[in-house]
Amino acid sequence: MADDFALPADPASAWAAAPATPLVSEQMRALVTQIFEPTATATHPRSEDRHSGLAQQAQIDAPPPASALCSAAHAAFAAALGPEHVRTDASTRAAHANGMSYLDLLRHRLPAARALPDAVLEPADEGQIAALLAVAAEHAVAVVPFGGGTSVVGGVTPAKGELRAVVALDLARLDRLVELDEVSRTATLQAGLTGPAADALLAAHGFTLGHVPQSFERATIGGYAATRSAGQLSTGWGRFDALVERLRAVTPAGTLVLGRAPGTAAGPDLKQLLLGSEGAFGVITEVTVRVRPLPQARRHEGWRVESFAAGAALLRRLAQDGPRPDLARLSDETETAMGFATGGEQGGEGCLLLVGWEGGEADVNGRALATAALLQAAGAHPLGEPAAASWRSGRFRAPRMRDELIDLGVAVETLETAASWRDLERVHAAVGEALRDALGEQMRPVVACHVSHLYAAGASLYFSVIARRDPADPVGQWQRAKHAATDAMAAAGATITHHHAVGADHAPWLAAEVGEEGVALLRAVKAQLDPAGIMNPGKLLA
């Protein structure tokens, strides 16, 4: 996490408070203006006056809607939690109104009313969560579990469906390291802990979770579990869902305690029904995860390869035959040329490949030397530690730069998938083409991509898109592009999401991924655990 990270005055309006010095330099600002001819301009916003122009007009034209929570439900929630933990003030409701997708942030800059939760509930323990779920079921109130608010797929949008009202359930008070088992190397963490807070608690005992997604600054342990998160070291250390040994979840039907031993043949693994469930079945309250001793050594290096195809072939060799890196990232030709991975410091021809290792000194050095021999024999050119250092120093910069680019008046968003090694290049080409065609040549779209998570059978693809914003229909512009890209993923046999989860945005394509019977199975689980349908309506299941 960058040392200067701070939330904006309205945490739902931008990723971070505006820095004293803009991340988008004057040179980059001039280039963006030249290429995209943005239709809306804004001077660099101040930290307490984040947006100008459209945002100020939106604040004038769209006063917050009144809470629809009835007095009986409000009184019952207050009795369960304490009156001070049932928040209906406009600023708290607004701070829980959306995630961090491009469209979420764009809507803050448009003169139209946004949907807000009718209240924000702040429970302190599982007993209070069970009580508030009972109240919600009795009064037909939808409940949206809320952690760091970092969803980019509509996962925390306050939708009430056919119910009378909707509340956000903020898990921030569940913020403890419950237990550290140094013998088994597991830690039990409550769901409201942020990534940085969890790592600080573990580091005090000489351990680390080592799960570092780009959302690390704001995301929470519960969010990691509910979305099957992947981090920057997931190639070597595993995705978050692979780290979970046990979990607890409170559902409207009761409390689930899942996972006993590191291996079991006691039927299907029910933990997997809750991991990735996005609050649609219940509220994950704590997880027991595998942890590691703080690494003795860290070594990250950059290499240049001649093409995306050549780099992917090298990564496949490492993933399948070893030595397996902990960190692996391959930028395609466009991302490399624009220096997206390194803040503009390592552009040029070919493709940038980053590999890294963390752990014991002998293990790190051994894998690094063996990898270097393999890469050099294949014709890769070493760039050394500086290229990796550039990436590492700016790895949390992208969401903040997006804040500034949106203020400049361009469309900027990301999306991701994963595919088999056999199909990876075909999916890369198909999704890129779908995005460019949907946005149209007149919008001058730039589509860049990188691989960031390796498996023996395939890898992820993470796309970044920048285009001229359509002044007539900026929301529809991106919705059409995202629709086209997701259609292309499904048609190519790739997953509709690798680590962003399903949310509301991907729910229409879930049947294409798991089949109609798979969707029916998930509906049956929801009916059993959430018979009144109060849990996060419209997410996961359309």
CA distance 390 to 344: 9
Contact (CB, 8 A) for 513 and 497: no
Q: Where are the domains of the chain?
A: 65-170, 177-293, 297-394, 398-505
How far is CA 93 from each of CA 61, 80, 169, 540, rounded to the nearest angstrom?
18, 19, 11, 23
Q: Are strands 254-258 and 244-251 parallel, antiparallel or unpaired?
A: antiparallel
Indicate if the pLDDT at residue 58 is higher than 70. Answer: no
Q: Which residue has the higher pLDDT, 181 or 390?
A: 181
Q: Which fold has domain 65-170?
A: 3.30.43
pLDDT digits (tens, 9 = 90+) for 187-211: 999 999 999 999 999 999 999 999 9
- Confidence (pTM): 0.94
The domain 297-394 is placed in CATH, from the list 3.30.70.270, 3.30.70.3450, 1.10.10.10, 3.40.50.2000, at 3.30.70.3450
pLDDT digits (tens, 9 = 90+) for 379-424: 999 999 998 998 888 888 889 999 999 999 999 999 999 999 999 9
Contact (CB, 8 A) for 318 and 371: yes
Which contiguous run of DSSP H or E holds residue 414? strand 410-420
pLDDT score of 30: 86
Q: Which long-range contacts (CB under 8 A, 24 or more apart) does 339-343 make?
A: 340/398, 340/448, 340/450, 340/464, 341/390, 341/391, 341/450, 342/387, 342/390, 342/391, 342/394, 343/390, 343/393, 343/394, 343/397
Tell me the Cα Rg of the chain: 23
**How crowded is residue 45: how many other Cβ atoms within 10 Å of its Cβ?**
20
Secondary structure (3-state) at 180: strand
Give the per-residue SS3 of 436-476: HHHHCHHHCCEEEEEECCECCCEEEEEEEEEEECCCCCHHH
Q: What is the mean pLDDT of residues 240-244?
A: 98
The CATH number that domain 398-505 falls under is 3.30.300.330
Q: How confident is the model at residue 219 (pLDDT cuts 50, 70, 90)?
A: very high
The CATH number that domain 177-293 falls under is 3.30.465.10
pLDDT digits (tens, 9 = 90+) for 442-500: 999 999 999 999 999 999 999 999 999 999 999 999 999 999 999 999 999 999 999 99
